[in-house]
Each structure stands twice: as C-alpha cells, then as structure tokens.
Amino acid sequence: MRIPLAAPDIHEEDIEAVIRVLRTPTLSLGPKLKEFEHSVAEYVGGLHAVAVSSGTSGLHLCIRTLHIGEGDEVIVPSFAFVAVANAVRYERAIPVFVDIDPETLNLDPGSIEAAITPRTRAVLAVHTFGRPAELSAILDIARRHHLFVIEDACEAIGAEYAGRKVGGMGELGVFAFYPNKQMTTGEGGVMVTGDPEIAELARKLRNQGRSDGAGWLQHSELGYNYRISDINCALGIEQLKRIESVLARREAIAGEYDRRLAGHPGLKLPRLSMPRCRISWFAYVVRLGDPLAQFHRDWILQQMTARGIECGRYFAPIHLQPIYQSASGYRTALPATERNAVRSLALPFFNRIEEWQMEEVCQTLRELIDQALELEPGG
C-alpha cells in the first residue's frame, strides 16, 4: 500500500537497544524483562506489571487469575477485537454481549445491570480506539454487584480517566504492543494489577506454571508459554521513554483529519476531546452517515484499497462472527453495535504519516462518498 493503515515508529535508539540484548547470553527472562515491567508499572501508577507475549494472553491471564471458570459469565462489548470474548471462552466461561454507547462506541453502562445474573463474575470494559470507557459508572455497578472489573486498555496506553491512567482502576488491566499500536514491542503485552498475589500467580502461569526460584522442571500450576523475550522488552523500554511525545503527535494528526474532513454531510467524525478524559489516539475512525449503509462502506473500502490507501473495518461485531453466531446463546440483538459497525471506517493513522498522505486520504474519501451517495445498492 502506498499509504498503509498503520506503521511502527522505529528509531535508531530502538535498534541499538535490541542489538545490545542480542550481544548478551540472556534473550529471555532476563534483566530487560524486569526493567520493562518496572517502567510500565511506574507509568501506569505504581502497580504490579506482568509482561506477556500478547494482549490476548494478558486477557486470558486476567480471567484465569480471577478464577473465572466454566459456567461463569463475563459481560463484554461486542464492538471490540475478538480476543475479549475468546479469552473468556478459553476458561469455558460465557461472554455475555452488551451494547455500546453510540457516541463513544464504548460499553454502555446502562446496559450492564440488565445483563447481570447470579452467574456474572466480571465486567470486561474496553477503552475502544483509546477513548476511556465510563469507568465511574462501571466501577459503581461492579461494586454494588460484587463483580470484578477488567480493563482492556490494549488500545489505550497513556489514556486517562478523571486524572488517572486507564488500566489501573479495575482489579486488572491489559495493554498490548502489536506494531499497529501507539508504541510497540513487536509482539507483546502487559497485565497490570494492584494485587501482588495476582501478579505472582500470573508470572507463574506465563512461564509454564513455574515458581520463581524453583527448578526449571518444577511446576506448581497448569501454565502456558506466554513469555516475552528480552529483545521485545528492550524495544518496549525505548518506545515507552517517548510515549508522551508520541501521544501528542497522534493527537495532532487526529486534529488535522478533523480539520480536513469537518463539515462533510456524509461523515460523522470522532470527537477530539471527552469530559474528564485524555484520549490516547490508537485509530481515527469515521462513521458514514445514514444514507451510506454497509454496501457503500464496503464499496468505499474497496475503492480506497484500489487506490493504494489502506483502511480498516473496525470492528465487525463479535456476536455476529461465525464462531459465535453458530453457538447457542450469542444471538442477542445489539442495535447500537450493529448500526455503527457497518458504518465505521478506520483511516490511515500512524506517527509518521505525512501531510500529503492525509490530504490524499481525505480528498479520495470525500470523492468516493459523493459517488456513493449517487449509487443504488447493487449498482
């Protein structure tokens, strides 16, 4: 693609940090792992951090360390990456899908209480596209019903709610650092918690159930290979050092998109700010207006791709995915989720995007929307 949807931002210091690790005999479970965990914990707010192989493995460890198991229910949004539901099912628990707020695209607190049953154990709140979920309301509901809150902050490193970093306000939080994120470790994630016992258990589980200090072939838990290498951690340490400048740059890019697309009648743009919140811009997702349903969104996506501009369909509702639609219990109608999902289009968004690229994206998108408004479905 001439203009990719996302791209990692790798500096010379990142490369040098990785090379330094490669010159040592310790490529995994070494000093860079502990340094990276300490850096993330301090940045988020003095929590315990457990670095793992991916955000998905971090979510799985959240479910496992809270002892959520077969028959238990976890409330999740359907407008999210599929990992939020898969992590629940890994432990034979049941993801209960609820609707989103049509403005923020985050979990709608008003839909949570109606979904609570005697089997409900937790609420998994996603900070969608880096926009903080309504944590005050979610935490209040969870306290009243004695539920855990897991924050999926995989898209939201550095986002803040009421002056606090997201990821650290529930019992557990997870960050992810895939190459399309604000910062990257290549592959990897971090689980954070204020509970030292949960952190200790998570460290055992990520390393095949081994306890720190025990023999390599001594296993006290049924664990997994969710380790992350010191190579990845070295990259993450350097990336985290400049996270604030990265977030400022991405906020500026969002502002530029807003300026160039403002006023177009066929588009609903994301708000640039939220009350009491700091947005960590993971993606810039526009929504097509009412006359432009899924047929037109997908046609626009195809046309953008044909012109060398990569866009994304964020997100296809999980409850409509084949793996969930074919199973019983996943056919709840979620009108806000379904309506917004077919209209959403993620535009190219990365740290080093240039002005000419943004202008071409916006000009092409405006032209295609104007053409789509003249088309009939199937035309």
Contact 64, 76 (CB under 8 A): no
Taking CA atoms, 357 is separated from 1, 62, 91, 283, 310, in Å, by 12, 39, 44, 16, 11
Has 165 been annotated as catalytic?
Answer: no
Q: What is the layout of strands, in order, in the sheet containing 164-165?
A: 164-165, 160-161, 277-278
- The residue assigned the tokens 């949807």 is 5
Question: How many H-runs (helices) and E-runs (strands) does the chain carry?
Answer: 13, 13
- Under 8 Å CB-to-CB from 155, ≥6 apart: which residues? 126, 127, 128, 129, 130, 176, 181, 280, 282, 283
Active-site position among 32, 34, 165, 181: 181
Question: Where is 59: in which H helix or E strand?
Answer: helix 55-65
- Cα angle value 15/156/63 (rounded, 5°): 105
Q: What angle do helix axes 83-90 and 55-65 make, rounded to 10 degrees?
A: 40
Q: Say which amino acid occupies 354.
A: E
Q: Whats the size of the chain, residue-wise? A: 379
Taking CA atoms, 152 is separated from 119, 132, 215, 328, in Å, by 21, 10, 33, 25
Cα–Cα distance for residue pair 90/106, rounded to 1 Å: 24
Cβ burial 273-288 (10 Å sphere, 16+ → b, else e): ebeebbbbbbbbbbbb
Taking CA atoms, 197 is separated from 65, 189, 257, in Å, by 9, 19, 45
Cα–Cα distance for residue pair 50/190, rounded to 1 Å: 5
Residues labelled as active-site residues? 181
